[in-house]
Amino acid sequence: MYRIGIGYDIHKKSSKRKLILGGILISNKNGLVGHSDADIVIHTICDSILGALNKGDIGEHFSNKNPKYRNAKSSIFLKKIKKIMEKNNFSIVNIDMTIICEKPKLTKFKSKIKKNISKILDIKQNNVSVKATTSEGLGEIGNDNAIACKTVVLLRNEEN
């Protein structure tokens, strides 16, 4: 049996925070506002896996009201969700994500993000796709006030 999950996240930018995407430090400034490290890439992967498993969303598992998660590395969330996935006898077939932002340009970071995500999830790099696009100057993303990410994951049940 196969299951598909979709994740979406968007955060405002802040000059007072580091920009971390996919667990990789992109910049020491113009990061994202959030309770944790605001890593929208990892957040969308978490939500897509949880959605495919019908296990809710990241906020249900890691509340932004819980001080334990203040400034936490999002990779901690992904590792815990990987355990939930494995406990339910599922594995990842592939992950496809698109990061939407005007700045910075992410071309030189995509392979690092891909490598880090595959390492966290213990899957082949070939099973992780990282793409980046702009919003063509439209809306909050286009005005460089926010960054968003969309992710799709395909899971396979290991019992079937």
- 24-70 pLDDT, tens digit per residue, is 999 988 899 998 999 999 999 999 999 999 999 999 998 788 778 78
Cα 3 to Cα 50, 64, 86, 147, 149, distances in angstroms:
11, 27, 14, 27, 20
**Torsion sign over Cα 135, 104, 27, 109:** positive
Backbone angles phi, psi at 118, to 5 degrees: -65, -35
- The arithmetic mean of pLDDT across residues 119-134, rounded, is 97
Q: pTM for this structure?
A: 0.95
Q: Which domains does the chain have, with CATH numbers?
A: 2-157 (3.30.1330.50)
Classify residue 89 as left (phi > 0), alpha (psi -120 to 50) or beta: left
Cα–Cα distance, 41 to 121 (Å, whole number)? 13
**pLDDT tens per residue across span 61-89:** 987 887 787 878 999 999 999 999 999 99
* pLDDT at residue 160 tops 70: no
Cα–Cα distance, 44 to 141 (Å, whole number)? 17
**Contact indicator for 13, 148 with CB cutoff of 8 Å:** no
